[in-house]
């Protein structure tokens, strides 16, 4: 029976075909992220298997398993805990994964990933067509790959493909995304060879053609997908233009590849490709161009295309054949099912925080801001199971930590009431989102999600209700458990030594509009709150100066957003005083002292203190002897941010 959403999104949910295999819909789970959950020597772990079971159940017609490196030396290995496929000893776990995918009704594709320029992570060097040094010092110094090594590498890819098919996979995929070996050969930026593998675009594409031929010969009955850049975003550094990218796709088509997955950008590209500052649909034109040129080859696409209705529309217009989706499914593995059931309003959206990528480049397993269970599927503590005893739970604070905890606990059968002193849920996130320079609607989607899910799971939310000791005494007989999720605020105690500190304004009062800031503003603290507010106030026309005690601004930002804020602060011409502290605040302005004692006076009519912050724990101590169980989560433990708020709220909700 057709589900209601399948009728609405009929192009997306129509059956498809790749090679000889029928797919139940036009959705491909993209292997866009390596999990780093596996052993250092390439074996798939139980953690990975549990995660893959979730991926298999996403409902996608095609599931691409994450990239495995094909060579025993590890020159193709880009991530410390990447999986390997250079030997039969790895096969049992691949067989298990192929089994999961087939059991769930999907077509299983195994990606083979030789990272080239980004490889050799354990070796101290990497191989690429020519010696072009790294622009990102995270990666290893390069060596030029010899012709013998090229032949061996092609052979290793073909053997890995054969192995994948023997493990039960229906097809394979090779990838240039995002600047891996295949891309290194294709691109003028990294391929400066003078032999038959370099120079003209025909020569640069030779490695790719040999790779495709070898894999097609090794696995003639199984489809092959090739991920190719529609845009490298490296052209201003001498890389390929978009037209050259299409020419290379033409070569792949001529070799009889079954699918081209169009991708965008290299790791080292100077421009953003998938961050929150790129609007959804921005890159769709690249897939449309490819589809127009190659009407008889399947085109898959999904970069910065998070919404099923947009994907459905693109397929209807013939812009591509398969919606390739990964990150939105990290955030909500139920996305496809919710779309099929016409429950898109319940989708937990990827907010583009790029926590996943930021962690990978710190050699950590990937996690997701929005999906606290990601990577913990194997751990019972992260499962939402029916509560052994139904409890009456009160949650104090309707920010992300409180709401996450409340909804998770309610899903388990508890009766939950949330008390919030303001007039809406979302806590500080609402105000932070409204001042965000990237895409406020992304962060606001978190708040909307909580509104929808609280209603769905019967969480009572009592707004405009402050939970103080007096209030607690009036309700404590009703509850078994109290959760304090009251967030964090300015640490006024820490500012007491500063003459005039009583003049400082709370950033949330300014962000919410409760306090109107003047025209000349000093913001104390160059962390994410201080920078976000400064950028917003500057855009509204104020003169803003940031004063930061540390050597640099943005110390609490993830790498993905550190450069964005640095850029915004520079573009907006916001002066920053680092290694500096506030010496005195007067009606005229702020006296700032740097670490060498140099004094500067900045005229200001408003001084906003975003730092130091402290956890709001006053009620915690008052409630200690009032209730059976008392817990605390989120910024009320220690001021941090959204990732930790959601993760802790969820874990606590699973545990109570």
Partner 1 sequence: MNPVDIGRWQAALASYGNTFSCLAPGSRIGLVAEAALGDAGRAGSSMLIWYATNQGLRVETGSFPGFEQTDVDILMVADDPALACMNDSLATDVLATVRQLIRDGQILFFARKTRSVLDDAGYEDLLEQLGFAFMGACR
Give the interface with partner 1 as residue ranges (CB under 8 A): 130-141, 144, 192, 194, 236-238, 265-275, 354, 357-358, 361, 552, 554, 558-560, 562-563, 566-567, 570
Separation in Å, CA 363 to CA 32, 34, 79, 179, 650: 16, 11, 7, 18, 25
Q: How far is the CB of 239 from partner 1 (least distance, A)?
A: 11
Q: How far is the CB of 198 from partner 1 (least distance, A)?
A: 9
Residue 191 CA from chain centroid, whole number: 30
d(CA 645, CA 347): 19
Q: Which is nearer to partner 1, 298 or 642 (CB)?
A: 642
Q: What letter would DSSP give residue 344?
A: G
Q: How far is the CB of 238 from partner 1 (least distance, A)?
A: 8
Q: Which is nearer to partner 1, 358 or 532 (CB)?
A: 358
Q: What letter would DSSP give residue 505?
A: B
Q: How far is the CB of 273 from partner 1 (least distance, A)?
A: 6
Q: How far is the CB of 359 from partner 1 (least distance, A)?
A: 9
Among left, alpha and beta (phi > 0; psi -120 to 50; other), residue 326 is alpha
Q: Give φ, ψ of 302 to 5 degrees.
A: -170, 5
Q: Which of 343, 249, 346, 254 is nearest to 299 (CA)?
A: 249
Q: Which is nearer to partner 1, 87 or 271 (CB)?
A: 271
Q: Which is nearer to partner 1, 4 or 141 (CB)?
A: 141
With vertex at residue 488, the alpha carbon angle to CA 486 and CA 491, rounded to the nearest 5 degrees, is 135
Q: Which is nearer to partner 1, 271 or 628 (CB)?
A: 271
Q: How far is the CB of 173 from partner 1 (least distance, A)?
A: 22
Q: How far is the CB of 651 from partner 1 (least distance, A)?
A: 26
H or E element at residue 330? helix 327-331
Taking a C-beta distance cutoff of 8 angstroms, is the pair 412, 384 a contact?
A: yes
Q: Which residues pair with 415 in a beta bridge?
A: 392
Q: Which is nearer to partner 1, 266 or 419 (CB)?
A: 266
Cα Rg of the chain, angstroms = 27
Q: Which is nearer to partner 1, 126 or 505 (CB)?
A: 126
Q: Which is nearer to partner 1, 266 or 294 (CB)?
A: 266
Q: How far is the CB of 263 from partner 1 (least distance, A)?
A: 13
Q: Give φ, ψ of 545 to 5 degrees.
A: -125, 140
Q: How far is the CB of 623 from partner 1 (least distance, A)?
A: 41
Q: Which is nearer to partner 1, 342 or 550 (CB)?
A: 550
Q: Which is nearer to partner 1, 426 or 554 (CB)?
A: 554
Long-range contacts of 360-366 (CB under 8 A, 24+ apart): 360/33, 360/34, 360/36, 360/79, 361/138, 361/559, 362/559, 363/36, 363/79, 363/80, 364/36, 365/35, 365/36, 365/37, 365/81, 366/33, 366/34, 366/35, 366/36, 366/330
Using DSSP's 3-state secondary structure scheme, residue 395 falls into strand
Among left, alpha and beta (phi > 0; psi -120 to 50; other), residue 113 is beta
Q: Which is nearer to partner 1, 38 or 267 (CB)?
A: 267
Q: How far is the CB of 268 from partner 1 (least distance, A)?
A: 4
Q: Which is nearer to partner 1, 563 or 601 (CB)?
A: 563
Q: How far is the CB of 281 from partner 1 (least distance, A)?
A: 18
Q: How far is the CB of 317 from partner 1 (least distance, A)?
A: 28
Q: Which of 163, 162, 190, 156 is nearest to 176 (CA)?
A: 190
Q: How far is the CB of 400 from partner 1 (least distance, A)?
A: 22
Taking a C-beta distance cutoff of 8 angstroms, is the pair 34, 357 a contact?
A: no
Q: How far is the CB of 112 from partner 1 (least distance, A)?
A: 22
SS (H, E, C) 189-254: CCCCCCCCCCCCHHHHCHHHHHHHHHHHHHCCCCCEEEEEEEECCCHHHCCCCHHHHHHHHHHHHH
Using DSSP's 3-state secondary structure scheme, residue 500 falls into coil
Using DSSP's 3-state secondary structure scheme, residue 415 falls into strand
Q: Which residues pair with 174 in a beta bridge?
A: 112, 226
Q: Which is nearer to partner 1, 2 or 194 (CB)?
A: 194
Q: Which is nearer to partner 1, 352 or 402 (CB)?
A: 352
Taking a C-beta distance cutoff of 8 angstroms, is the pair 233, 183 a contact?
A: no
Q: How far is the CB of 404 from partner 1 (least distance, A)?
A: 25
Q: Which is nearer to partner 1, 92 or 238 (CB)?
A: 238
Q: How far is the CB of 77 from partner 1 (least distance, A)?
A: 16
Residue 329 tokens, joined: 């499914």
Q: Which of 500, 492, 485, 524 is nearest to 608 (CA)?
A: 524
First to last CA, the chain: 39
d(CA 544, CA 534): 6
Taking a C-beta distance cutoff of 8 angstroms, is the pair 515, 509 a contact?
A: yes
Q: Which is nearer to partner 1, 194 or 474 (CB)?
A: 194
């Amino acid at each position: 029976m057709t589900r209601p959403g399948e009728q609405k999104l009929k192009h997306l949910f129509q059956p498809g075909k790749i090679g000889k295999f029928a797919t139940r819909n036009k959705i491909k789970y993209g292997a866009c992220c390596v999990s780093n959950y596996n052993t250092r020597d390439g074996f798939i772990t139980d953690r990975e298997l549990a995660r893959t079971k979730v991926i298999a159940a996403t409902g996608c017609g095609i599931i691409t398993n994450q990239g495995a490196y094909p060579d025993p030396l590890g020159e193709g290995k880009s991530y410390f805990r990447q999986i390997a496929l250079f030997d039969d000893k790895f096969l049992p776990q691949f067989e298990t994964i192929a089994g999961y995918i087939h059991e769930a009704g999907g077509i299983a594709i195994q990606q083979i990933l030789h990272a080239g320029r980004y490889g050799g992570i354990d070796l101290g060097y990497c191989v690429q067509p020519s010696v072009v040094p790294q622009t990102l010092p995270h990666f290893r110094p390069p060596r030029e790959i010899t012709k013998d090594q090229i032949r061996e590498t092609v052979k290793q890819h073909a053997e890995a493909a054969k192995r994948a098919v023997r493990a039960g996979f229906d097809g394979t995929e090779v990838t240039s995304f995002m600047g891996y070996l295949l891309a290194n050969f294709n691109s003028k930026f990294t391929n400066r060879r003078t032999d038959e593998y370099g120079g003209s675009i025909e020569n640069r594409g030779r490695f790719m053609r040999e790779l495709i031929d070898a894999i097609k010969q090794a696995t003639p009955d199984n489809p092959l997908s090739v991920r190719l850049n529609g845009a490298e975003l490296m052209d201003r550094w001498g890389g390929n233009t978009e037209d050259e990218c299409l020419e290379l796709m033409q070569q792949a088509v001529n070799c009889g590849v079954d699918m081209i997955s169009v991708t965008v950008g290299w790791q080292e590209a100077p421009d953003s490709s998938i961050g929150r500052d790129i609007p959804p649909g921005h890159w769709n034109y690249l897939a449309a161009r490819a589809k127009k040129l190659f009407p008889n080859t399947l085109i898959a696409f999904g970069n910065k295309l998070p919404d099923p209705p947009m994907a459905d529309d693109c397929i209807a217009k013939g812009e591509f054949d398969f919606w390739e989706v990964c990150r939105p499914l990290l955030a909500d593995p139920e996305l496809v099912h919710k779309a099929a059931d016409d429950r898109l309003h319940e989708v937990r959206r990827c907010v583009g925080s790029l926590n996943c990528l930021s962690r990978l480049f710190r050699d950590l397993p990937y996690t997701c801001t929005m999906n606290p269970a990601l990577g913990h599927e194997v751990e019972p503590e992260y499962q939402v199971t029916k509560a052994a005893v139904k409890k009456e739970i009160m949650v104090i604070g309707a920010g992300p930590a409180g709401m996450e905890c409340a909804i998770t606990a309610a899903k388990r059968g508890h009766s939950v009431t949330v008390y919030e002193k303001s007039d809406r849920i979302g806590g500080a996130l609402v105000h932070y989102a409204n001042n965000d320079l990237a895409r406020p609607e992304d962060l606001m989607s978190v708040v909307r999600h909580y509104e929808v899910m609280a209603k769905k799971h019967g969480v009572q939310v009592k707004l405009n209700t402050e939970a103080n000791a007096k209030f607690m005494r009036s309700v404590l007989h009703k509850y078994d458990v109290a959760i304090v999720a009251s967030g964090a605020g300015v640490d006024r105690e820490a500012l007491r030594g500063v003459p005039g500190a009583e003049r400082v304004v709370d950033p949330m009062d300014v962000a919410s509009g409760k306090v109107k800031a003047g025209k000349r503003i000093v913001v104390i603290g160059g962390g994410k709150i201080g920078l976000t507010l400064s950028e917003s106030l500057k855009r509204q026309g104020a003169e803003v100066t940031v004063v930061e005690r540390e050597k640099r601004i943005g110390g609490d930002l993830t790498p993905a957003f550190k450069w964005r804020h640095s850029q915004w602060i520079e573009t907006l011409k916001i002066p920053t005083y680092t290694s500096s502290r506030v010496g005195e605040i007067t009606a005229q302005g702020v006296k700032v002292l740097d670490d060498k004692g140099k004094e500067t006076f900045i005229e200001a009519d408003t001084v906003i203190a975003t730092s130091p912050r402290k956890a709001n724990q006053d009620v915690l101590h008052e409630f200690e002897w009032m209730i059976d169980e008392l817990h605390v989560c989120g910024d009320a433990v220690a001021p941090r941010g959204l990732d930790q708020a959601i993760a802790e709220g969820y874990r606590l909700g699973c545990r109570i």
